[in-house]
Structure formats: C-alpha cells, structure tokens
Amino acid sequence: MNIDFDKILATGAQLADSAKKTAVDLANKGKKQVDLLNAQTRLHKTQRQLGALVYSLAKNGEENDLLVKKYVEAISRIEEEIEELKKREAEQTATESANSPLVYTYTMEQEEPAAETEKVCPQCGALVEEDALFCKHCGTQL
C-alpha cells in the first residue's frame, strides 16, 4: 500500500475551517493511517533486526531457534495489526464521501538508521543493540 504523504500534507495545508464533526472524523481517519504507517515502520525495523540476527548466527555458525522464533512471532503480530488497521480503514473509507477535506494531526515515528549503539540486557548483562526487541544472549524481551 502506498500513501502519498506529500499529497496528504499539501491537502492538509490547504484546508480551511470546516464543520467540527467532519474535522474530528477525518482526524481519526488520519490517525488510523498514521497508526498503519507506524506499524509498517515497526514491521520493517523488526524484520531488519531478524535479518541481522540470522546473519550474525549464520556467520558465526550458531543457532538460536528460540530467539529467531520470538522475532518471527513479533513480526506476525505486527502483520496482523497491519491487516486489522487496513481492514478498518477500508471500511471507513467505503462509508465516506469521496471528496471530503482531510485533516491530519500526527506524530510520525521515524525509521532510524541501523543501530550503532548498544545497551546492556537487564536480565543477563549482555551487550545488545539499542533497538533490539529481545536480548540475543538470554532472549529476554527488552
């Protein structure tokens, strides 16, 4: 799914005052789209972490099925969340008039560059990537 954010922002910028209820409804719609984008950002981040983990394991000739499984489960949950958000958005879009003005108030989660920093696992004290979901040593959720 592609969302043309430049277009959305431009449309939002052109918006004059409109009926309060309409503004609230559309703000909710905007929030859903942002939730969706944020979930997709989280998905990409988690997939990248899984990729880095699998690469690191393969490179070192190691296995950690439990940790890989945890990442796969985390990714599945995010994918389910995205499907749910898409479904709700589609339902809502279907009931709206086609040419409503758009209002967006949101905070975007920025996709961060690959982590260069590390933090210490509170459970076992191992050094793990700053944005890792799970400790690669003991599997604790961080």
Q: Tokens 């758009």 map to which residue?
A: 102
Piece in contact with Zn ion (CB under 5 A), picked from 43-51, 80-88, 94-102, 128-136: 128-136
Give the span between the Cα atoms of 136 and 24, in whole angstroms: 44
Q: Tell me which of 32, 88, 119, 137 binds Zn ion, using CB under 5 A.
A: 137
- Reduce the DSSP state of residue 128 to 3 states and report it: strand
Token readout for 63 is: 């296995």
Piece in contact with Zn ion (CB under 5 A), picked from 37-45, 55-63, 64-72, 116-124: 116-124
Count of residues engaged in binding Zn ion, rule: CB under 5 A? 8
CB of 11 to Zn ion, least distance (A): 47
- Reduce the DSSP state of residue 116 to 3 states and report it: coil
Cα angle value 104/47/89 (rounded, 5°): 30
CB of 135 to Zn ion, least distance (A): 3
Token readout for 17 is: 């005052």
Q: Tell me which of 24, 124, 130, 141 binds Zn ion, using CB under 5 A.
A: 124
- Contact residues toward Zn ion (CB under 5 A) are 121, 123-124, 126, 135, 137-138, 140
